[in-house]
Amino acid sequence: MSEDGTNFDLVIIGGGPGGYGAALYGAAAGLDVALVEMHKLGGTCLHVGCIPAKELLETAHVLRTVKEAAEFGVNAGEPTLDIDVSMARKQAVIDQLTAGVGQLLKGRKVTMFDGVGSLGADRQVSISGGESGDVTVTGTHVILASGSKPRSIPGFDVDGSIVMTSDEVLSIDRVPATAAIIGGGAIGCEFASALADFGTEVTVLEALPKILAGCDDDVTKVVERAFKKRGITVKTGAMVQGHTPHGNGTVLDLGDGESLDVEVVVVSVGRRPFPDLLGLDGTGVQLDERNFVVVDEYCRTSAPGVYALGDLVDTPQLAHVAFAEAIMVIKHLLGEDPLPVDYTKVPWAIYCQPEVAFAGHTEASAIEAGYDVLVSKHRFIGNSRAKIVGSTDGMVKIIAEKLDDGSGGQILGVHMAGPWVTEQLGQGYLAVNWEATVDEVAEFIQPHPTLSELFGESVLAMTGRSLHG
């Protein structure tokens, strides 16, 4: 930092995972870093995204566990949900994590500025509207990491009572009797799962032919079957035409004379980039037709010395992707020649019931890419640990390259649905990213009895010599 405190090695606009991740990693590498945040440290993920959503889902898990306790001989009575207590616990977790990020930044001597940051010429950043007062700082490098906002759809103005987005659902003060979730992606399915456990009659409305469009077809079928068993209605190919509010909710127009009367509508159709306050006109930073900042494989914008990452660019909108991009960017601006992030091998985790986790090719995408594939599928119903915990819905599916002799070669994709699979993906992710072969992974010793044992069984079966299936 210069003597007047306005010149830095790196200035970052946005304190979400990508922004604070770059600040921490850059400071650890010896850079003099300034971080500008207009709201709260942690961004979407920490405040209105993955953390509060998973807290809500954990509440649902505990409620479901107590309801099913009698199966284990534990008589706990009929549980009830105190939504106020649940929301208070959620907020406590958020506050603790937010404070933790702040302490980490302070410990690494990152200079914090409160306010709206906008980019000017020559990597100048003007900061306004915050407690820091109006100030202009300059960075040898600048990172844009202003995140995203929930997308909306025409005719569904968010009022926080009848029509909600993810932001409002995560702060509900009541459990609705009925709800429609417009959008059957990861976020929509997570909300559907949680609300159903809370006692809401849930209908998922998805315009595409299936929910969880990015998932392998077999995994999607597992979730669809489980949802049906739990009383969650899934309507695919659903084109919502609009809605008509009334005193106790609203009536959705589904076309062809079909309607749906619900208390609450949750619009869950993804998130849009949020470059709105960055002041990019005249900076040389380009936006595409969907308002994403255009970057190259190293997250460099068209303006010299300016990078963009996280939800602001057209890459998977995941906190861990933003972390990966942040690390890559810091290495790049330091001249360390990092490898670009391989977005085709990103690990995904979806926390509905049953959970979903995957990395690498689906069976369909592997075939489309020109591979002759070998597939192994094993269900949790045959896994001893799954039987012990009382959760046997789901499967492990592995896609490998089929060699000329019919044996399995490189592992191309690992896909899971079932109990705690979000915590089991690690070895599958490593197999995909290290381009391991079936024979190599089959040598791993799997602890018994564990849920992760099913991954080993599935790989072993691809050698033609399995133990249990």
Query: Does 116 score more than 90 pLDDT?
Result: yes
Q: What is the pLDDT of residues 14-63, one digit of tens each?
A: 999 999 999 999 999 999 999 999 989 999 999 989 999 999 999 999 99
- Model confidence at 353: pLDDT above 60: yes
Token pair recorded at residue 363: 């069976």
Evaluate if residue 237 carries a pLDDT over 70: yes
Q: Is 183 helix (H, G, I), strand (E, B) or coil?
A: coil
**Which sequence spans correspond to the domains of the chain?**
7-149+272-343, 163-269, 354-461
Q: What is the pLDDT of residue 131?
A: 84
> How far is it, in rounded angstroms, from Cα 148 to Cα 96?
23
Question: Alpha carbon 228 to chain centroid distance?
Answer: 24
pLDDT at 459 over 80: yes
Residue 36's φ and ψ, nearest 5 degrees, are: -110, 125
Confidence of residue 132 (pLDDT cuts 50, 70, 90): confident
Q: What is the reported pLDDT for 220?
A: 97
- Cα–Cα distance measured from residue 92 to residue 234, given in angstroms and rounded to the nearest whole number: 34
* Tokens found for residue 409: 């070669």
CA dihedral over 341, 344, 347, 350, signed as positive or negative: positive
Query: Using CB atoms within 10 A of its CB, is residue 247 exposed (0-12), middle (13-18) or buried (19+)?
Result: exposed
Exposure string (b/e) for 349-386, b if CB count within 10 Å is 16 or more? bbbbbbbbbbbbbbbebbeeeebebbbbbbbbeebebb
| Nearest residue to 376 (alpha-carbon basis) of 261, 247, 237, 218 | 218
DSSP-based three-state secondary structure for 366: helix
Does the pLDDT at position 67 exceed 80? yes
Please provide the average confidence, as pLDDT, over all residues in the chain. Answer: 95
Residue matched to tokens 């592997």: 366
pLDDT in tens, 253-282: 998 889 999 999 999 999 999 999 999 999
**Would you state the pLDDT for residue 4?**
63
DSSP string, 261-317: EESEEEE-S-EEE--TTS--TTSS--B-TTSPBP--TT-B-SSTTEEE-GGGSSS--
The dihedrals phi and psi of 456, each to the nearest 5 degrees, come to -60, -40
- Burial profile 27-53: b = 16 or more Cβ within 10 angstroms, e = fewer: bebebbbbbbbbeebbbbbbbbbbbbb
Q: How confident is the model at residue 466 (pLDDT cuts 50, 70, 90)?
A: confident
329-338 own/partner pairs: CB under 8 Å, 24+ apart: 329/22, 329/143, 329/298, 329/299, 330/22, 330/25, 330/26, 330/29, 330/31, 332/298, 332/299, 332/300, 332/307, 333/10, 333/141, 333/307, 334/29, 334/31, 338/298
- CATH classification for the domain delimited by 354-461, as one of 3.40.50.1980, 3.30.390.30, 1.10.10.10, 3.40.50.150: 3.30.390.30
Helix (H) or strand (E) holding 118: strand 116-119
Confidence category of residue 469, pLDDT binned at 50, 70, 90: low
How far is 325 from 340, CA to CA, in rounded Å?
8
Spatial distance between the Cα atoms of 31 and 73, rounded to a whole number of angstroms = 58
> CATH assignment of 163-269?
3.50.50.60
Under the banding of pLDDT at 50, 70 and 90, the label for residue 87 is: very high
Domains 7-149+272-343 and 163-269 share a fold: yes
Question: Residue 163's closest CA among 186, 187, 180, 188?
Answer: 180
Question: What's the rounded mean pLDDT across residues 86-92?
Answer: 96
Distance CA 256, CA 252 (A): 12
Does 2 score more than 60 pLDDT?
no
Q: Catalytic site residue 47?
A: no
Structure tokens at 427: 């070895």
Spatial distance between the Cα atoms of 465 and 237, rounded to a whole number of angstroms:
42
* Distance from chain centroid for Cα 298: 22
Note the pTM of the prediction, 2 decimals.
Answer: 0.95
Instruction: Report the candidate in 340, 388, 347, 367 with the shortest Cα–Cα distance to residue 72.
Output: 388
294-317 pLDDT, tens digit per residue, is 999 999 999 999 999 999 999 999
* Residue 5 confidence (pLDDT): 74
pLDDT tens profile 159-213: 999 999 999 999 999 999 999 999 999 999 999 999 999 999 999 999 999 999 9
Average pLDDT over residues 315-322: 97
Write down the architecture of domain 7-149+272-343 according to CATH.
3-Layer(bba) Sandwich (3.50)
